Amino acid sequence: MKGLVCLLLLLETFVCVVQHQVDGGLNENEISQQLRSEDGRQNPPQTDTLRDEASTDSQQNYHLFFTDIHAALRELTATVTEQKANIRELTATVTEQKVNIRELTATVTEQKTINRELTATVTEQKTNIRELTATVTEQKVNIREEMNKKNDEISNLTLSQVELRKENRDREIAFSAGLIQSGDGYIGPFTSEITLTYRNVFTNIGNAYNPITGVFTAPLKGAYMFRISVFGHGPTHAAASIYKNGERVVTAFAHQPQNELNSSNGVVLILEVGDVVYVRLWPNTRIFDNDNNHSTFSGFLLFPLREQELCRM
């Protein structure tokens, strides 16, 4: 009975030692020493009488249990030691992971800052694009309105021109004539101006030029182009002028002591219906012509004019 009590006390001590070992307590030598101390307390020196009372079997069982407990304790101590090593490695790993997490957190924070800055930049760019788009849209509207206005003006002008052409499609006017119809010779000099008659007619569309009188009569109100050329020999001057309704407009004049003389001139005139244009030779001058047609008189209608167009001029 006494041996059983000792065994129970020893097991209780073992449990306490193991608990202390798990909590980071003693090593194997310290555990063995504590067990021996506990054994001494549970088995103090006995008197000869008490030892005699203990049975031989109980002592043998006690020693057997004690040996098994020491073996189990050593195994448990080795396991705990191994677990402590594992725990230290795990702690080191966790510490390293914490460092990595802190670095990753710092990186994520930095990326968030960069993303916020990029978002602000993109927002600003979107605002600029919207403003630019609005400006472009406004410019397109302005251009469209301007183009429509120009198209309307062109359409109106085209319609006016078409109407004018319809009104005057049978009134094309142009003429050109040389001074001498055949042979060669001089005209002049005379003591006073004379009207030249250009008898060698090359063109007379509309029959507005009269080769007998040398006078062009405007059959249509409009803008006309007229041109003359004179040719002569020095030392006599060569000079002639274009007249409109009895008024001199432009002159072709040439002079030198000898050899050939030539000059030309032209003018655009606004004529009413019935206005006359002709060429007059200056006094004391002469001009020459032959089959080469050096001296000519030409004119043609540039475009007809309406009454309101003449008022604007």
pLDDT one-digit tens code per residue, 83-107: 888 999 888 988 988 999 999 889 8
pLDDT at 74: 84
* 189: three-class secondary structure by DSSP: coil
The amino acid present at 29, given as its one-letter code, is N
Number of H helices, E strands in the chain: 5, 13
280 closest CA partner among 247, 311, 232: 247
Radius of gyration of the chain (CA): 68
Q: For residue 194, what are the contacts with CB-CB under 8 A and spacing of at least 6? A: 188, 280, 281
How far apart CA 7 and CA 1 sit, in angstroms, is 10
pLDDT tens, residue by residue, 34-57 = 556 655 555 555 555 555 555 565
Cis? peptide before 45, omega within 30° of 0: no
For 128, the token pair is: 């600029």
pLDDT tens, residue by residue, 148-166 = 888 877 777 666 666 656 5
Burial class (CB in 10 A: 0-12, 13-18, 19+), 299: buried
For 69, the token pair is: 């407990």
pTM of the model: 0.46
> What DSSP string runs through 18-63?
HHHHHTT---HHHHHHHHHHHHHHHSPPPPHHHHHHS-HHHHHHHH
* 138: three-class secondary structure by DSSP: helix
